[in-house]
Amino acid sequence: MQALIAPSILAADFANLQRDVEMVNSSTADWFHIDIMDGVFVPNISFGFPVLEAIGKYATKPLDVHLMITQPERYIQRFAEAGAAVLTVHLEASTHLHRSFQEIKNAGMQAGVAINPHSPVQGLFEVLGDADLVCVMSVNPGFGGQKFIENTYRKVATLAEFRAKEGLSFKIEIDGGVNQQNAVQLVEAGADVLVAGNFVFSATEPLPAIAKLREVAVRNNPSH
């Protein structure tokens, strides 16, 4: 099984959003990763439903929507209607994760849970039987272009070990500071989805940048 590549639209050129969406469509990437920020859970505001729907109008690949907002359960149905295929809520923002997962699945989406760098992955063990995806934040959420946090490798390995031991099938996604170099170690540790923002959209040629990540994902991903 090869890792999936999910370019992060937060790093795209918003003045040329259709162009960048169509670039990802034509690339070897698998998903669009879309960060929704409310300025409360994280110290930044990104975009809401109109922009998400505009992306969905042109995107030909699944929308992987990451909610960095308080009380995300208020908007689950709206995100389904806006075209999300995967909807991820934060451990730190969701009081009743099992219920949120069920509502996300009932709305026809895959259910994901994200965890901030300071939170131990062991805090997820009780809910992982119901999760389709775990998003490990490898930077503090809120802004792109941050330095990758090295402890992420250990967290990925711990999740992969727990998944194998329990016979579960959730995907492990890494979000923040991913590049061609650390992608090798992340995939070897057990990562299944690589979110890349600046590495893709700040590249002189984004398509070859995505292809480099794809090469790493295929070459290094063990069977897990």
Residue 111 CB partners (closer than 8 Å, separation 6+) = 86, 87, 88, 100, 101, 102, 104, 105, 130, 131, 132, 133
Q: What pTM value is reported for the model? A: 0.95
pLDDT score recorded for residue 144: 64
Residues pairing with 135 in the sheet:
114, 173
pLDDT score recorded for residue 141: 77
pLDDT score recorded for residue 217: 84
Q: In the β-sheet with 32-37, what is the strand arrangement from edge to edge?
A: 4-7, 193-196, 171-175, 133-137, 110-115, 84-90, 63-68, 32-37
71-80, 107-116, 135-144, 190-199: the lowest-pLDDT one: 135-144
The rounded distance, in Å, linking the Cα atoms of 23 and 49 is: 22
| DSSP codes of every residue in 86-120 | EEEEETTT-S-HHHHHHHHHHTTSEEEEEE-TTS-
Residue pLDDT, tens place only, 160-196:
999 999 999 999 999 999 999 999 999 999 999 999 9
222 pLDDT exceeds 60? no
Lookup: tokens for 78: 């709206």
64 is catalytic: no
Residue pLDDT, tens place only, 76-103:
999 999 999 999 999 999 999 999 999 9
Of 35, 38, 64, 132, which one is the catalytic site residue? 35
The rounded distance, in Å, linking the Cα atoms of 61 and 63 is: 7
19-28, 119-128, 139-148: the lowest-pLDDT one: 139-148
Q: What is the mean pLDDT of residues 113-120?
A: 96
130 pLDDT exceeds 60? yes
Whether the CB-CB separation of 32 and 7 falls below 8 Å is answered with yes
pLDDT score recorded for residue 52: 96
Whether the CB-CB separation of 112 and 135 falls below 8 Å is answered with yes
219 pLDDT exceeds 70? no
Q: What is the mean pLDDT of the chain?
A: 94
Residue pLDDT, tens place only, 24-70:
999 999 999 999 999 999 989 999 999 999 999 999 999 999 999 99
Whether the CB-CB separation of 84 and 66 falls below 8 Å is answered with no
Amino acid identity of 215?
E
pLDDT score recorded for residue 116: 95
175 is catalytic: yes
CATH of residue 155's domain is 3.20.20.70
Q: What is the mean pLDDT of residues 135-164?
A: 90
- The SS3 call for residue 56 is helix
Of 20, 30, 64, 175, which one is the catalytic site residue? 175
Number of domains in the chain: 1
The rounded distance, in Å, linking the Cα atoms of 31 and 133 is: 13
Give me the domain span that covers residue 56: 4-220
Residue 67 CB partners (closer than 8 Å, separation 6+) = 36, 75, 79, 87, 88, 89, 90, 93
